A and B are shown apart, each in its own frame.
Chain A
Amino acid sequence: MLIGISLVSFFIMHLAPGDVTSSEASFNPKASEESRQKLRELYNLDKPVIIQYGLWVKRIAQLDFGNSFASHQKPVLWERTDKSGNVTKGLIQESLPITLMINLLGICIIFSISIFLGTLSAVRQNTWVDRSITLFVFIGFAIPGFWLALLLMYWTGVSNQWLPISGLHSLGYQNLSGFGQFIDLLKHLVLPVSISSLSGLAGISLYVRNGMLDILHQDFITTARSKGLKESKVVFIHALKNAILPLITIIGLSIPGLIGGSVIAESIFAIPGMGKLFYDSVLMRDFPVIMGILTIGSFLTLIGNLLADVGYAWADPRVRKGLVK
């Protein structure tokens, strides 16, 4: 699978016209074509695609992700120390934690709100509560994210100055105490995280709702009810546990999204995450970075799927006891 992804993306990438020497900045009469040709040779961009791919695989086999073209030799993956002890951080090393932090926060919020809304919807099926929740989550899904983001930035940042508008840190945050820095970061994260969560609510909460509906009609729930257990206990302990089990698989499947980040949100909120890094690399035709992100991405996806399987097996007693294959 890793090979498949790398092969597909390598060829797509090289079929797209242009390379790193054709950026807008280099379209400048002071920059001569000969020197651009020289650059192409230095980066091996003049070789046939298949040979470039071979060279890339050879390096990757030694876990060498290479250096970025566009940011002039910043390492793609991990930091590098030169002989005099100067450290140059890797591009993915810098972006991935930011994106992960935002998306993990987002997913926690999505899941907790969705489970609540979904359950409530299912219990009150076809009442106005159910319908309002459905309407609400759909509006969250349907509203164009960047528009809402700008409106909220204006409202909370400009006219009321409750929250910072963009970026991750305030000016001079270094002078804050550790706790102050944490609060500062949280404040900066409120808008990006809530915008990205809003669009995710619809899918998960409907999933929980439908799962709950299925389960509430099953025999063991009827049994539990007939035993005289309180309805709340039936719903929240017996049914909910079973309904959220499949969510573990969803977490596994959402790993690519977790590390991918969102170009649009990251551009609007000026957050240097993976989405922006990837988008810029594509526009600059920065091949080592594109390949690096895709490879790391698919690698983590594989691990994610594996973990989801293991987690599901661990959580589902039937699988755990070997009753179900």
Chain B
Amino acid sequence: MKKNCLFSNFIAIFIPLIFIISCSKDTSEVIDYNGKFKNISGGNLINAMAGEPSNLIAMIAGDSASSAIAGNIFNSLLKYDENLNYAPDLAESWQISNDQKTISFKLKKGLQWADGKPLTSADVLFTWKLITNPNTRTPYASDYQLVKKASTPDSLTFKVTYESSYAPALDTWTSLHILPKHILKDEDINNTFFSRKPTGSSFYKLDEWISGQQVTLKANDKSVLGVPLINKLISRIIPDTSSQFLELTADNIDVMNINPIQYQRVFPARKDLRQKIALYKELGNGYTYLGFNLKKTPFNDIRVRQALNYAIDKDEVIKGVLLGLGEPISSPYKPGTRWNNPNLSPYPYKPSKALVLLQEAGFKKNDAGILMKNGKPLKFEIITNQNKQREMTAVVIQKRLQEIGVEVSIRVIEWASFVNRFIKTGDFDVVVLGWSLSLDPDQYNIWHSSQQGPGQFNFLGYSNKNVDKLLELGRKELNVSKREKIYHEFSKYLLEDSPIIYLYAGYALSAVHKRVKGVKNPAPPAGIYHNNYDWFVPKPLRRSEISAR
């Protein structure tokens, strides 16, 4: 009797569990999302983000949530168009002087802020003064401090003069959000209500911000760039990605970033999801690499670095970690852009060649199959931060290197400790990390030999005189095709020296509910969000506000 009841209790608990898992019945009636629809304005778009924006003044905030939202509220002087060329934003045109040191921007006519006040070159000058003011708590000032003189000859012209020609200059003016002088002139920018109640000039303005829950933007009818079709952009803050995905499948959010397994496995297996959610992929702006501490033996030996490069199967990493949703790379630039040198190709997977190179470097296999030099095994630790893909990458690499007799251990560390204990102090062997890059090819901060101080970004300790020279040249050269040559050559040196092993550039994967129309497919180089002000939700497909959960 007693035993029996014990058993029935177990049953009582587990049956529902199994039921919960196995039951995936589709209760919603089938709506056809594929018809032709008119693009009438209205409706709303809900997306999910993991963290709350910290501050809508982008020069002070550093987090991606903040820049994503602020980007819908503020304009810069310039922007990138869908093919990643410079395009007018607030500025209608721009001119570079013959000595390449002065740029003058001509603003569009009749610009105004969301509160109806005119937007003039005085606002631009104010913003520049703000970011270069030493009391402003911004980490991004250095690019703008290169401007020697800034002036406003008239209310539509803004003119900056650099000490010497600075090639990335235009790029820096695509990311500086212009702020309203009339509101901020008496405010302390570090501590102002404006950071949570901004007034901008772009397509949207802030409607409501419920702390920790959601940020709602609504169409800015004063926007001179036009009024967007979707009336409200709602960003819900959902920290856990599993919860985000549940919300997506329950129709409660329209847009989210997904991972390769969801893209390659979950969606193909679930017809009900494919019927209502469209998937998009685009190459992201970053890449993942394995970097050596070049100040340590044996990584100061180029043969060891090249050998390890031959010993790692990048295709396997891409297949295993990204389920094929990534591209192998051979230069630190996005494949398909002009800065990427098409003549370079990644180190192929050739373990035999790796062993030859290691033997040249003095390593011999002992009886246990471990590579030894001077009585010491070839042994190192890969460190990485808490990032699932990087962890998995390290695991796959570990397996391949063990096959040729290299002992590898892995350590995963929380970010702040990772940077401060290991990166800043140089106390590491090998890292698996990623760089996300801006669209300008300048990588002086990462690769120039002068950038090795604590806290600077050449923490691997790379120095190559030729590379230094090229990087210095590239910063000054404004002629695009000359610049292209410089960076192609730079990439060649970098590949040969192999201070890092390029692992992959992953695809950014997005799921967008099919009720949202106007998304470009395939994604243009600038990504699907590029034209989000052209997106619309046809009236029959809109969720009724109150029944939506």
Contacts and interface: CB of A to CB of B under 8 A. Distances in A.
Q: Do A and B come from one complex?
A: yes
A30 B46 CA distance: 31
B32 interface: no
Interface string B211-251: 11110000000000000000000101111101100110110
Contacts of A89: 211
A94 interface: yes
A21 to B, nearest CB: 8
A31 B142 CA distance: 8
Interface string B119-157: 000000000000000100111111100000000000000
A153 B250 CA distance: 10
Interface string A182-222: 00000000000000000000000000000000000000000
B416 A34 contact: no
Interface residues of A, number: 79
B279 interface: no
A317 interface: no
Contacts of A128: 1-2, 5
A298 to B, nearest CB: 24
Q: Select the residue from A71, A150, A283 with max chain B CB neighbours within 10 A.
A: A71
Given A31-B139, A272-B211, A18 B419 contact: yes
Contacts of B13: 139
B23 A159 contact: yes
A25 B548 CA distance: 33
A31 B247 contact: no
B23 A38 contact: no
Contacts of B5: 128, 131-132
A28 interface: yes
Nearest to A168: B213
Chief secondary structure at chain B's binding surface: loop
Contacts of B237: 270, 272
A16 interface: yes
Contacts of A232: none
Interface string B21-64: 10111011000000000000000101000011011010011111
B62 A170 contact: no
A28 B143 CA distance: 13
Interface in B429-469: 435-436, 438, 443, 445-446, 453-457
Given A31-B140, A135-B9, A165 B212 contact: no
Contacts of B9: 132, 135-136
A164 interface: yes
Interface stretch (B188-196, B376-384, B508-516): B188-196
Given A30-B438, A33-B456, A73-B190, A160 B27 contact: yes
A286 to B, nearest CB: 10
A170 B120 CA distance: 41
A172 B545 contact: yes
B499 to A, nearest CB: 16
Contact of A25 (B46, B52, B62, B211): B62
Given A157-B250, A170-B546, A29 B445 contact: yes
A94 B246 contact: no
Interface in A1-33: 16-19, 21-33
- Please give me the 3 A-B residue pairs with the lowest Cβ-Cβ distance, nearest first: A272-B212, A18-B416, A172-B545
8 contacts: A23-B416, A28-B139, A33-B455, A33-B456, A74-B196, A84-B193, A175-B546, A284-B416
Given A74-B196, A94-B211, A267-B243, 4 more contacts: A21-B139, A165-B246, A165-B252, A270-B213
